[in-house]
A and B are shown apart, each in its own frame.
Chain A
Amino acid sequence: MAIEIKAPTYPESVQEGTLATWHKQPGDAVERDELIVDIETDKVVLEVVAPASGTLTEVLKAEGDIVLSNEILARIEEGEAAVSPAKVTAASEPDQQVGDALVNPAAKKLADERDIDLSQVSGTGKGGRITKEDVVNFTPLAVPLVAASAPASKAPETIEPVMQEGERVERRVPMTRMRARIAERLLDVTQTTASLTTFNEVDMSAMMSLRKQYQDEFTKMHNGTRLGFMGLFVKAAVEALKRFPLVNSSIDGSDIVYHGYQDIGVAVSTERGLVVPVLRSAENMSIATVENSISAYAGKARDGKLTIEEMTGGTFTITNGGVYGSLISTPILNAPQAAILGMHKIQERPMAVNGEVVIRPMMYLALSYDHRLIDGKEAVQFLVAIKQLIEDPAKILLEI
């Protein structure tokens, strides 16, 4: 009995996806719940698994094709997973290449000359046609896909450019969908907001000694969760946002939307790009919960398993360039939020305290804000509030 393999139902905010990688070829045996294909959307990679065991008979979409919600991708003939002894030649080519109908003439000629298997080339021409350009730009995978075990095959595939020794080569790789979407959003936010950045510096010594003093007790009390800076920064941010609700707002058309909750996004860098999972109602989270959630998100992000829901929304974002060594920077707004806080490297500097020069661990803070909503005064005062809360953590607890 033939079963259809369909793309999953996309969330409302996602209109279409791109078929990223086939993990199975027609003729291959598949087992129930085995990963068959990856679909890349603007935000995440969706995995499609086999609903039943059997043999993959037909593949209807090629890598690089646009895939809509619930679109049929392939068919499985249910039954005992029979391994076909000899691969049928048609099975080694994706189904859509019927003769040369979808390959431009010069592309075929070049592929023949360079001994390139056209079934491996993704077509960027109209309707998925393979153009000469696609063949020119084609780089075969440097190493074969790690075929060892199923978990390994779930890892996102990266195309390693093949660089010849001694040649001044260039490799042109089309942007992944996610990168293109990130580029689009960043350009959009730069053009549609009046973004400015205000700076301040914070003496981290109070927070650092707090951490040192209570780390062991904290870890023991909270089942191994370590006390980092992010937990305290998130709480400080929440407190400051309560005092400056405009910084926690967003623009919608000609309205300012004041959010009655603080959903704090925490930026996490992954191989595919920057993602910002959101801590929902952070004002209700304990420090331990914040720390736990952040490490859980970071793990998921690195594994490419963040869901779209986890990354949508957010009323304020915190980003930390300090882990990579950044001393000071101007973060870019995370649309449609009104502001973003940038944390940086903690660096010991000589500071003047009570008329004396002392060495203090200092961190520069940057607050980028949308001047359409927030005036300089508010932005500066908000950042000063954060600084004061960090420099005297008791203030966070006492809400003063």
Chain B
Amino acid sequence: MSDKYDVVVIGSGPAGYVAAIRAAQLGLQVACIEKWKNNEGVGVNGGTCLNVGCIPSKALLDSSYKYHEAAEGLAVHGISTKGVEMDIAAMLGRKDKIVKQLTGGIAGLFKANGVTALYGMGKLLAGKKVELTDNSGVVSVIEAENVILASGSLPIAIPVAPVDNDLILDSTGALELGEVPKRLGVIGAGVIGLELGSVWGRLGSKVVLLEALDDFLAIMDKAIAKESKKIFTKQGLDIRLGARVTGTQIKGREVEVTYKTTAGEELKESFDKLIVCVGRRPFTQGLLAPDSGVDIDDRGSVYVNEFCATNAPGVYAVGDLVRGPMLAHKGSEEGVMVAERIAGHKAQMNYDIVPNVIYTHPEVASVGQTEEQVKAAGEPYNVGTFPFAASGRALAANDTDGMVKIIAHADTDRILGCHIVGPSAADLTQQVAIAMEFGSSAEDLGMTVFGHPTLSEAVHEAALAVNGAAIHIANRKRR
């Protein structure tokens, strides 16, 4: 039996399910195929983000943060606490409940929008046909006018630290630890490493992060990366840069990690658990028949043009599967763009204004260009910064680590980038992202009235500082 749809989406993570829903909203007949099965073997939507990524990690981050605050952060307010305990099983249970609610929510949205939800493995054949092997093994072929590939990504595996889901874990395993490891090793001090390290560090682990690069958060604005490293180190995260892991050895119930420093030293350290989070790679296994017409580039991503169209006519690819930052919202907006283009609209995506967040506390967030990128492009620029230590609202909340940094073009004053480490960095950065979408200058933000006392005011002051007009800190003398 061969069904025919206007759009068949392979993958129902944030890129796939959003594409499916948008396409259905625009009046198209849509089917969305998902191969993920939960612990009970039932097909669930939501992909990595909902099941083992963004959502569960944020749930654990919030739970662990509250524990940490309750155990150590309330004395300054005059509140004394003792005997604060963390029931890990309950924490994980809450996380699972949230995941279940959201993944069920997607199934509900599919129903509401008339998207046919299919469960099983989808494979693109030639001529816009998709072969579906459902969860009971039955194979069928679906015909489509358009196919959207959204099969996402998986953690990169490194041979020196093979994941055994016992002592050596990947990010998925790190979200399921039944007890707090005494010593936790993390290979990779990127976004995922810092978040997972924060969770277990707050709950009592002694966390060591081994980062192979010499620079911390190398793709972020250097000033913000530097400030962030100071803050995380103060929190007790032991971040070792220039540390390349060369081998691991299981010794009883410990993992002994061998690593080389840039200075050439070879060091060893033992951990109770080791998390490997060195990045993710696009997941294309079993996705494409050899004659599908879709090309893979040399990074393993599906090759697409600026509108996410592959080389095969009528076939698109979005999300972690294609070039660009591996961010859920980037995938979602690509999904919207593709759905709208299929429906005949001239949608496009602004890849220059995609916010990027690390959900530690304080959060680290950025949008637009870093100072290093602006400098490398040869553009003249001004910088305005404002520390949260000077923010009344932050002081009242006892949350004063971090700063806001805004970069604007020196001649046109156009905001080129915003980088924040501090409380609610994600939400504050979003404000600047919105302004940037409208071609805002730093002065425009400076002329906007901001409520007081808010954390947002730090954005206001940083924008004013760009042109030497900040009120609540001494302005840097202009060179």
Which A residues fall within an 8 A CB radius of B? 15, 104-107, 109, 124-126, 129, 131-134, 136-137, 172
B258 at interface, CB cutoff 8 A: no
B399 within 8 A of A: no
Using A133-B414, A136-B411, A136-B413 as known contacts, say yes or no to A105 and B448 having CB atoms under 8 A apart.
yes
B residues 434-464 near A (Cβ < 8 Å) are 437-441, 443-444, 446-448
Q: Are B447 and A133 in contact (CB under 8 A)?
A: no
Given contacts A124-B439, A126-B437, A126-B438, contact A104 B412 (CB under 8 A): no
Known contacts A105-B448, A109-B447; is A131 also within 8 Å of B441 by CB?
yes
Q: Which residue of A lies closest to B437 (CB)?
A: A126
Q: Number of residue pairs across A and B with beta carbons under 8 Å?
A: 53
List, sorted by A's number, 18 A–B pairs whose CB atoms are closer than 8 Å: A104-B439, A104-B441, A105-B444, A105-B448, A106-B441, A106-B443, A106-B446, A106-B447, A107-B444, A125-B438, A126-B438, A129-B438, A129-B439, A131-B412, A132-B412, A133-B409, A133-B441, A136-B412
Q: Report Cα–Cα, A106/B440, bound state, in Å.
A: 8
B444 touches A132 (CB 8 A): yes
Question: In the assembled complex, which residues on chain B have CB atoms less than 8 Å from the CB atom of A107?
Answer: 441, 444
A-side contacts of B439, CB under 8 Å: 104, 124-126, 129, 131, 133-134
Nearest-Cβ distance from residue A183 to partner chain B, whole angstroms: 16
Known A-B contacts A105-B447, A105-B448, A106-B447; A132 and B438 likewise in contact (beta carbons under 8 Å): no
Measured CB to CB, the closest approach of chain B to A386, in angstroms, equals 36
Complex: A132 Cα to B443 Cα, angstroms: 9
Q: Which of A109, A124, A131, A137 contacts B440 (CB 8 A)?
A: A131
Within 8 A of A (CB), among B323-350: 346
Q: In angstroms, how far is the closest chain B Cβ from the Cβ of A19? A: 17
Q: Which residues of A contact B447 (CB under 8 A)?
A: 105-106, 109
Chain A nearest Cβ from B16, distance in angstroms: 28
| Cα–Cα distance between A56 and B448 once the two chains are bound (Å) | 38
Q: Which residue on chain B has the smallest CB distance to residue A124? A: B439
B contact residues around A132 at 8 Å (CB): 412-414, 441, 443-444
Q: How far is the CB of A61 from chain B (nearest CB, A)?
A: 17
> Which residues of B are found within 8 Å of A134, using beta-carbon distances?
439
Most buried by A among B346, B441, B448: B441
Which residues 289-348 of B sit at the A interface, judged by CB distance below 8 A? 346
Say which residue of B346, B411, B437, B444 sits within 8 Å of A106 (CB atoms).
B444
B295, chain A: closest CB distance, angstroms: 12
- Name the 4 nearest CB pairs between A and B, nearest first: A125-B439, A133-B412, A131-B439, A106-B443
A105 to B444 Cα, complex, angstroms: 6
**Chain B residues near A106 (CB-CB < 8 A):** 413, 440-441, 443-444, 446-447
Task: For A133, list chain B residues within 8 Å (CB).
Answer: 409, 412-414, 439, 441
CB distance from B379 to the nearest CB of A (A): 11
Minimum CB–CB distance from B437 to chain A (whole Å) comes to 6
Q: State A133–B438 Cα separation when bound (angstroms).
A: 11
Contacts of B448 in A (CB 8 A): 105
Question: Nearest Cβ in chain B — how far from A108, in angstroms?
Answer: 10
Known: A106-B441, A131-B439, A133-B409. 8 other contacts (CB 8 A): A106-B443, A106-B447, A129-B438, A129-B439, A131-B412, A132-B412, A136-B413, A172-B411
CB distance from B73 to the nearest CB of A (A): 40
| A124 / chain B contacts, CB cutoff of 8 Å | 439
Nearest to B350 among chain A residues (CB) is: A126
Cα distance A104–B435 in the bound complex, in angstroms: 10
**Complex alpha-carbon distance, A106 and B444, angstroms:** 5
Q: Complex formed: what's the CA distance from A148 to B30 in Å?
A: 61
Q: Are A104's CB and B409's CB within 8 A? A: no
Contacts known (A105-B448, A126-B437); A137 close to B443, Cβ less than 8 A = no
Bound form: Cα–Cα A172–B346 in Å: 29
Residues in A neighbouring B441, C-beta threshold 8 A = 104, 106-107, 131-133
Q: Which residues of B contact A15 (CB under 8 A)?
A: 346
* Min CB–CB distance A110 → chain B (angstroms): 8
> How far is the CB of B316 from the nearest CB of chain A, in Å?
18
Rounded to whole angstroms, the CA-CA distance of A107 and B437 in the bound complex is 15
A177 to chain B, nearest CB (A): 16
Q: B407-448 CB contact bits vs A (8 Å, 1 = yes)?
A: 001011110000000000000000000000111110110111
Measured in the bound complex, the distance between the Cα atoms of B428 and A246 in whole Å is 60
Task: Determine the chain A residues whose CB is within 8 A of the CB of B413 once the complex forms.
Answer: 106, 132-133, 136
Bound form: Cα–Cα A226–B291 in Å: 57
B440 to chain A: which residues have CB within 8 Å? 104, 106, 131
CB-based contact A109/B443 at 8 Å: yes
Q: How far is the CA of A129 from the CA of B414 in the complex (A)?
A: 13
A107, B446: Cα distance in complex, Å: 13
> Could you say which residues of chain A place their CB within 8 Å of the CB of B444?
104-107, 132
Q: Which of A105, A129, A137 contacts B412 (CB 8 A)?
A: A137
The 8 A CB mask of B396-414 against A (1 = contact, 0 = none) is 0000000000000101111
CA distance A137 to B439 in the complex (A): 14
Question: Once the chains are docked, how many angstroms separate the CA of A107 from the CA of B443?
Answer: 9
- Give the Cβ gap from A285 to chain B, nearest Cβ, in Å: 37
Q: Which of B362-414 contact A (CB under 8 A)?
A: 409, 411-414
Residue of B nearest to A105 (CB): B447
* Max chain A C-beta neighbours (<10 A), residue from B411, B414, B439: B439
- Tell me the complex Cα distance, A107–B414, Å: 11
CA distance A23 to B414 in the complex (A): 31
- Give bound CA distance, A171 to B22, whole Å: 43
Q: Which residues of B contact A126 (CB under 8 A)?
A: 437-439
- A129 contacts which chain B residues (CB < 8 A)? 438-439
Distance in angstroms from A124 CB to nearest chain B CB is 7
Most B-side CB within 10 Å, residue of A106, A125, A131: A106
Q: How far is the CB of A258 from chain B (nearest CB, A)?
A: 23
In the complex, which residues of chain A have a beta carbon less than 8 angstroms from the beta carbon of B446? 106
